[in-house]
Amino acid sequence: MAEPMVRSELVCKNFGALRVLKGISLTVDRGEVTCLVGPSGSGKSTFLRCINHLEQVTAGRLWVDGELVGYHERGGKLHEMPAKDAARQRRDIGMVFQKFNLFPHLTALENISEAPIRVKKQKKTVATDRARELLDQVGLSDKAKAYPAQLSGGQQQRVAIARALAMDPKLMLFDEPTSALDPELVGEVLDVMKELARGGMTMIVVTHEMGFAREVADSLVFMDAGVVVESGKPREVLANPQHERTKAFLSKVL
């Protein structure tokens, strides 16, 4: 059996005295879409940020594509990873943020081509052509020259997805990608994500969109207070939750 894309073993994360993750264990196979759901403060976003080392894991082990995240293991000891190696790990992992975090001083096209040019040292013409393709793919080919402030929230998030895709990631992380959007704009972003999932992208999505989870996800993980309460096939978990906390949460959001 092939190595899973993401393997997490008892991952813990403390912020000072505060314990945010208390031992998360799960695996995400290649080409699989996993949705992380749960109440605010349950640690979903923190776990997602640990996967690309925006947060440093305090205890436990986390592998992406068979490679330990954030540390080198030598002679039975863990060594903190130099910034350069961490950057190399991150560039294969796309991330989409709740607040888009587009670069406001760059046009939509430049937002997408910036990292391929700087990080992958692609030729400007190559990166720009690819950026145009990606803009087309997210349905925004006419917005190439627009600055983020001139785009709607949904359009900005689609540009942000294209920006992450430009690095040809093997894994995409979505941190509540539709939570900051007007209801009528949620659909256009979810459509782009569904398209990606159909294309075989491995995705981990923190979301409150249960409809999306049911339709697209291969597995659903319910988190609360820093632990995984239950997980399984989305339809089964949503229709027939086993734990009281899951039932209570789902009764509020469904």
Partner 1 sequence: MAISHSGTGSGTGAGSDPGTGPGAADNAPELIQAVPLRRPGRWIAAAIVIILLFLFLYGAATNSAYDWSTYGHYLFDKRVSKAAGVTLSLTVLAMFFGIVLGVVLAVMRLSPNPVLRYVSFGWLWFFRGTPVYVQLVFWGLLVVIYKQIDLGIPFVHQFAHIDTQNLLTYYWLAVIGLALNESAYMAEIVRAGLTSVDEGQDEAARALGMSWGQTMRRIVLPQAMRVIIPPTGNELISMLKTTSLVTAVPLTTELYSRTRDLAVETFNPIPMLLVASTWYLFFTSILMIGQFYLERYFARGASRKMSVRQLQALADAQGVGNQKGLI
Question: Could you list the residues that contact partner 1 (CB under 8 A)?
Answer: 52, 54, 83-84, 87-88, 90-95, 97, 99, 101-107, 114-115, 118-119, 147-150, 163-164, 167
Residue whose CB is less far from partner 1, 79 or 118: 118
E-strand ranges in the chain read 6-15, 18-28, 33-37, 59-64, 67-68, 71-74, 77-80, 93-96, 171-175, 202-206, 219-224, 227-232
Residue whose CB is less far from partner 1, 157 or 246: 157
Shortest spacing between CB 87 and partner 1, in angstroms: 5
Shortest spacing between CB 214 and partner 1, in angstroms: 28
Q: 232 - beta bridge partners?
A: 220
- Taking each continuous run of H as one helix and of E as one strand, the counts in the chain are 9, 12
Residue whose CB is less far from partner 1, 166 or 190: 166
Shortest spacing between CB 91 and partner 1, in angstroms: 3
What is the C-alpha to C-alpha distance for residues 116 and 163, in angstroms, rounded to an integer? Answer: 9
Residue whose CB is less far from partner 1, 13 or 245: 13
- 3-class DSSP assignment, residue 213: helix
Shortest spacing between CB 6 and partner 1, in angstroms: 16
Q: How many CA atoms lie within 13 A of 246 on its CB side?
A: 22
Residue whose CB is less far from partner 1, 73 or 168: 168
B/e letters for 190-199, b = 16+ CB within 10 Å, e = fewer, are bebbeebbee
Shortest spacing between CB 179 and partner 1, in angstroms: 14
